Amino acid sequence: MKLSPSLTSVCAVLSLAATATAANTGSPFYGDAPDEHHPWAIHDQNRPQPKLVTPGTFSSQEQPGKPPSDAVILFDGTELGKWEADEGEGVPTKWVVKNGAMECVPGSGYIRTKDKIGDCQLHVEWTAPTKVQGESQGRGNSGVFLMGLVEIQVLDNYNNPTYADGMAAAVYGVNPPLANALRPPGEFQTYDIVFRRPIYKDGKAIDPGYVTVFENGVLVQDHTRLEGGTGHMARSKPGPFPEAGPLKLQDHGNPVRYRNIWYRPLPQRAIEGGTDGYLTTEATMAKRAEIAAMLRQDAEKLKDPANPVPEMLRLAESLVYEHDDAALQRAKELADQYMAQLQQLSPDKLAAKKDELKHLRDVTKYLARFDVIPDDAETKVQLEQIIKEHNWDKK
């Protein structure tokens, strides 16, 4: 395709803009500033890096996959040291380990983790008995009880009709799965679950809680709203909900087998003190104050009588998060000192500072845009004048 001359010039400008954007990405004065619900700027360089996790591998029928590096392993196919009977603390379970899987011994009761688990990503694999017995809820029935309270149904409803809200991967009695993606009995099924418990404060739900489930990689619960715990025949009743509880697996009288069970605790939601997401103004301002204090401390370390720029920039950065009279005053002093030094420079030495001056001018524009300094701040106006006089924006 041949580009028209005008389109070619537009492309050239866009390409230049892209280069400029890439060059500025390391600057703290770049994306939209923090606001009353977000303590971080857009593309904020001060925002902590996510932790490194080495991903695991997928399971095959023959072999369980490897969990991610930060997973807490509850059952690796060898022993039940992290589990106990649901009857009481320290009571050994009668469930048995056979061929790399734990098996429910009918009549022995639920099994539960010794760990108390709250919000988590949970991976569970299970298989219903190959010998098909029973119908509807009587075939290959067990259950994954999150915090011992919310049942994600385990059931062999492969060619086995039952009520929709009791099918495999249903939030039992609350919400049917979006699809029936079961494999035949005897094959391992995988559940990947994201669980956010209901949060109550002063007797009121401030977050109802949600669960997302993938059954064999197919989305079957899409951020399903919880309504408290689940139960048989009874609608769940909202009410106070603990912060954590044991994971339980159900004995429903069928020898269902489990393998490769692990979880990853999830970070706090904004509503309970997390600092990502849409925060309350109070929480946002507290975090912004914390970041600003860290930057002011850092500015102290950058004091250099020969070069006021690094300290000045760090203080300017801190002011984007939080106004502070002393920091503003000190930044102004440093700016005055810097501008006075400029007056002493020969034209050649001033020209050598062209890029620095343009950057500082951009910083003042950013600060004015987000009301940290007035639009007619002296340093900003002076920098604009110098750059205009030398026509540096064009050169």
Q: Which is nearer to Mg ion, 141 or 260 (CB)?
A: 141
Report how far residue 180's alpha carbon sits from residue 187's, in angstroms, rounded to the nearest whole number: 15
Report how far residue 258's alpha carbon sits from residue 319's, in angstroms, rounded to the nearest whole number: 55
β-pair partners for 201: 204
Q: How far is the CB of 258 from Mg ion (least distance, A)?
A: 13
The two tokens of residue 326 are: 């002393």
Binding residue (CB under 5 A) for Mg ion from 143, 173, 246, 308: 143
Cβ(258)–Cβ(97) below 8 Å: no
β-pair partners for 218: 215
SS3 372: coil
Q: How far is the CB of 128 from Mg ion (least distance, A)?
A: 12
Report how far residue 142's alpha carbon sits from residue 144's, in angstroms, rounded to the nearest whole number: 7
Instruction: Select the residue whose beta carbon is closest to Mg ion and give its number.
Output: 143
Q: Which amino acid is at 168?
A: A
Those residues whose C-beta lies under 8 Å from the C-beta of residue 241, and which sit 6 or more positions away, are: 147, 149, 197, 198, 199, 200, 209, 228, 229
For Mg ion (CB under 5 A), the number of binding residues is: 4
Q: Which is nearer to Mg ion, 71 or 167 (CB)?
A: 167
Q: Which is nearer to Mg ion, 165 or 362 (CB)?
A: 165
- Which parts of 232-271 interact with Mg ion (CB under 5 A)? 250, 252
Q: How far is the CB of 144 from Mg ion (least distance, A)?
A: 9
The two tokens of residue 36 are: 């009353």
Q: Which is nearer to Mg ion, 172 or 321 (CB)?
A: 172
Q: How far is the CB of 66 from Mg ion (least distance, A)?
A: 28
166: contact with Mg ion by CB under 5 A: no
Backbone angles phi, psi at 212, to 5 degrees: -120, 135
Q: How far is the CB of 239 from Mg ion (least distance, A)?
A: 22
- Which parts of 268-297 interact with Mg ion (CB under 5 A)? none
Q: Which is nearer to Mg ion, 34 or 177 (CB)?
A: 177
DSSP letter at 171? B
Q: How far is the CB of 207 from Mg ion (least distance, A)?
A: 26
In this chain, which stretch among 137-145, 253-261, 304-312, 346-354 interacts with Mg ion, using CB under 5 A?
137-145
Give residues in contact with Mg ion (CB under 5 A).
141, 143, 250, 252
